[in-house]
Structures are given as structure tokens and as C-alpha cells.
Copies of this chain bind each other. A is one copy, B any other.
Amino acid sequence: MAASAPSSSGGDPDPNSANLRPPSTTYDSWCGVAHGCTRKLGMKICGFLQKNNSLEEKSRIVSSFKERQSPKNLLSCENSDRDSRFRRTETDFSNLYARDLLPAKNGEEPTMQFLLEVVDILTNYVRKTFDRSTKVLDFHHPHQLLEGMEGFNLELSDQPESLEQILVDCRDTLKYGVRTGHPRFFNQLSTGLDIIGLAGEWLTSTANTNMFTYEIAPVFVLMEQLTLKKMREIIGWPGGDGDGIFSPGGAISNMYSVMVARYKYFPEVKTKGMSAAPKLVLFTSEHSHYSVKKAGAALGFGTENVILLNCDERGRVIPADLEAKVLDAKQKGYVPLFVNATAGTTVYGAFDPINDIADICEKYNMWLHVDGAWGGGLLMSRKHRHKLSGIERANSVTWNPHKMMGVPLQCSAILVREKGLLQGCNQMCAGYLFQPDKQYDVTYDTGDKAIQCGRHVDIFKFWLMWKAKGTIGFEQHINKCLDLSEYLYTKIKNREGYEMVFEGEPQHTNVCFWYIPPSLRGMPDGEERRERLHKVAPKIKAMMMESGSTMVGYQPQGDKVNFFRMVISNPAAARSDIDFLTDEIERLGQDL
């Protein structure tokens, strides 16, 4: 491991020498300036001065680099320059432009300095994200940001901006954004900032390749294959057999499941269209994610043919309702094709009873999909995986490591039990990509399984996190988040000013509750109370965002007025953050 300290510079900058531009533009005078730098950089600059054609360009670029030093430092530190390549110099970026970076001639030094400056901005951001004294966000309305904030102008122009402005833009973009990794950001199912995952994404962007062929993504294609197999083993499919692909999010993964189900039962739809099939219906619960309906609309089923199933008070499908609706559809001449069971609903965090649903699917010969986008992560926990009991009977599973497992966005897998369906359903055998006469085993060219052509590399960050944490690391992460939500539930279930949206301990980290301000506490249930209560969560949320202290989601559900949905997927959160959230809700809501 070649880890080594930076070296050979130090001391204070000489303010008088910044942006120094000698009047003469001869080679010698510039080389004189260059020699003022440390030995290696000076030699480099002199070297390129000798080769370079445009003297003005030289002047501009040379004058941008300067290392801080005093003669004393030169004497004491110059003996080690092997790491000088990894050393930030005091660079004047106001005089440098994108065109000065690689692949420009002599672009290496400005490139390295620019990237290190960016990394400084990013590592500062990372550091502050975990610092609870930092705000979660610095809220501004759209019109405010559009009007421009002190030097941060979103408009694009014909002429280039200097790298100094680009660095300012990077800082401002982060400043006016939302710190989704902050320990007090509870607004979404995907939260947290995993350092290994982050490193994985940085590497992925640097590799800048595409998943369609082994030819240009050999390592990533194999990582995807191995990781998907591991996931199928964890689901419980014998030998980890089956198929799968990483897709751009859970909605697309769910769409894949419907496509594959249709292809399995009515393969002629691929060539002849929906008119070749009988009238098909899909089933999913009223609490399930809207992406099943979206898939129904996109794929030509129609949203009216996505039949919503009733749920119990806890948001779990009532299996008898499924069977009744299947029989009803059949009676009306429809063919029941597909049932989606949700493992971890978006709002309540409910787990549908998969085994009961699987029985009905087997009885009526329907495809069983489990949408585990949110709850799939619980499979990694020996303590909690029983909530997905029966998942091994599914024909397909959506599982988003970017949610409960803390992998950076995006990372969503669609897993299919029967091999070959994904390929059969989607392949078009494009000659320019999937040549059969390559020198390697072309079964590793997995791109034709996808509805995409180019496909982003979503696997590496996840693979790297798995290596770094181990299966047990994910288990600990998940158990910790569930413990925290239990802490919140226990804390508020009998606390004055709180009402739970449903009875009993949540199955996932979703804790759904109303905060009842003192002014509403004595009021009898009725339309007025409902109307006023409906406005409480949005008002508190707005104040939270204005103050930037924390963020948590709210929504209505069925006939229930707006309530808070607390979710925890960030391992940076601690009990003190839960306490902070309830304190904040009470502080902001007490006078409503």
C-alpha cells in the first residue's frame, strides 16, 4: 500500500508574489519564474516552455501556479518530492479554463490542482454532513434561486467561465442543496452518505463506462453477475439460480416484472402487441407503490386494469380480497396475470403476507412479484427477515439496495426466478453491439436483457460496500435502524400530543403519527378537527424547512388526514436525533 505524506513545501504564502506577471515574455524570464517554484514543478514548467508554441498561453498558465514556501522550507523539505503530484499548490483558477485541463498539452498540472480543489470542497461537505451543528438545508424558494444568489447564477452562456467560477458554482450547488446524509434528514426512504459507497461512485464516474457488453465493462459485468446471484441466494431460490439486472430505480424494476410476466404467459405480445392477448388484469394493494399503476399505463394494460386490493388497518393486503377479485375478474372475462405483493409499503412500511398470496397465485396460475424495493433489505437481517417469509416463492423480486441498505443512488435490482425470460422478453440482437463472433464468451454481454441500451454502472458501489461491510455489516445497519424506529414508537405511542396512525409496533422503520397541537387536544373528533389537523403537518414541515433543522415527510392516506411518516435508513442517526425530531415538532407545533 503506497500511502505517503505530502512533502517538500510549507510555510506561509508570500502575498506579494500571487499572480505575479513579469513584464518580459521571453522564455528565460518565464523560466526564472518557474524556478521560483519547487524543483520538480519548476523543471516541468521549464520543459513545457521550451516545447510550447504560444508564449501568451504559457504566461497565463504558468502564472496560475505557485507554491507557498520560504527559502527555509525549500532547504528543509525539498529532499522528498515523490508525492508532489498529490500536492495542492496555490493555484490562481481565475486565469484557468476548462480548455487548459487534460487533454490539453501541459494540462496535467492544472487538472490535478483542479480535481484536488474539488475534492477539498467535497470532503468539507462530507465532514459537515455528519456534523449536527450544520443545517440539513438552507431553504430558498425557486424564484429566489432563479434570480441568482450572490454570484451563483444558473444561466448558461456562450462563453466559458473560469475554473474559479466553476469552483464557486460547485460550492454554491452544495450550499443550496439538501444534505440527504445528515443524521437528521428523515424525509425519504433513501438517506445517508456511506463513505465506501461514495468512493465507489467516484470510481464509477472515473471509469465512465457502460454495462451493455463485457467488452467495455468486464469487471463490472462480472460483479453484477456475482452480486445478483448472492441476492438470489438470500431470497432463497435454489442455488441462487435465476436471472436479474440492475435498473434505474424501483419503478423500472417493477415495470420489468410486469413485462416479464406478460412475456412468460403471452410471448406473442412482444411481436404482435397487446391485441394478441386476452384482456389482462394486474393486482396490487391500495397501499402499494404507484409504479405498478404506472407500469400498467405505460405497457398498454391501462390503469383501470390494475386492480387495487383492500388492506387491513396496518396496510397489509387481505388475501381473501385478492381471491375474491381474481374470481370476479375471471367471471367478467378477464385473465388475471400478475399479483404484486409489497414487502415494506412506502407509507406504513407494511409487509403483505407473501405465503398466503403465493397460495392464491399458484391456485390461479398467476405471476407473483414481490416489490421489496423498500423492505428487501430486511432479508439481510436474521432478526427481521421472517417478515418476508414466502419470498422464495415469488417469480420476481424488486430490491433496492439504495434504500434500506444505504447504497448511494441509484441501485435497484430486478430479480427473476426463471432464467432466460428477461433476455427473451427484451432482446433485439443489435448487430453493432452484440456481435456473436467475439473472441470471448458472449453470454456475458448482458445488455440485451435491458429495456435500456446504455446502462449506468450501478453495481460497483454496492459490491464495494458489501466487500467492506460484509453481509454482517448490512445486518447491523438494518438492525440498528429498526431499533431506532422502535425507540421512536415506544417514546411517542403514549405521549401527550401524539396519535398513532395505526395500532401496534411498525413492521419496518416507518412510524406514522399525528402531532396534535395543544389547541386541538380537547376538541372532539369531527370535520373541524380533521380540517385543522390536516394543516398541522404541512405547517410544521414548512417551518422545519425554513429553519433547516430537520426534515421528515408527511402525507394523507385514504381517509386519513395529513400525518407524519418517519423513516430511518441512515445509520448516522442516533437516539438523540430522534429526540431532536420530536422536540422540534413540539417546538414548532405548540402554537398551531
Contacts and interface: CB of A to CB of B under 8 A. Distances in A.
A73 to B, nearest CB: 6
B471 A157 contact: yes
A428 interface: yes
A103 interface: yes
B86 A88 contact: yes
A454 B401 CA distance: 13
A297 interface: yes
A96 to B, nearest CB: 10
Contact of A196 (B98, B433, B535, B542): B98
Contacts of A551: 215-216
Contacts of A99: 469, 473
Nearest to A268: B302
Q: How many copies does the complex hold?
A: 2
Nearest to A7: B10
B451 A572 contact: no
Contacts of A299: 298-300
Q: Which range holds the interface residue count of chain A? A: 35 or more
Interface stretch (A46-54, A245-253, A324-332, A491-499): A245-253
A82 B177 CA distance: 27
Nearest to A295: B451
Interface string A208-220: 1110001111111
Given A103-B183, A470-B161, A173 B440 contact: no
A529 B13 CA distance: 71
Contacts of A91: 3
A524 B438 CA distance: 27
Nearest to A176: B219
B275 A460 contact: no
A59 interface: no
Interface stretch (A26-34, A222-230, A385-393, A515-523): A222-230
B173 A1 contact: no
A347 interface: yes
A473 B101 CA distance: 13
Interface stretch (A336-344, A402-410, A415-423): A402-410
A365 interface: no
A13 B9 contact: no
A205 B205 contact: yes
Contact of A76 (B76, B202, B218): B76
A118 B199 contact: yes
7 A-B pairs with least C-beta separation: A300-B300, A273-B302, A201-B205, A103-B572, A10-B77, A439-B542, A5-B68
Given A75-B76, A119-B119, A177-B218, 6 more contacts: A108-B130, A139-B218, A145-B219, A173-B207, A249-B452, A274-B275
13 contacts: A11-B77, A108-B130, A145-B219, A146-B222, A161-B468, A193-B206, A202-B202, A272-B302, A272-B305, A346-B432, A402-B454, A439-B545, A439-B546
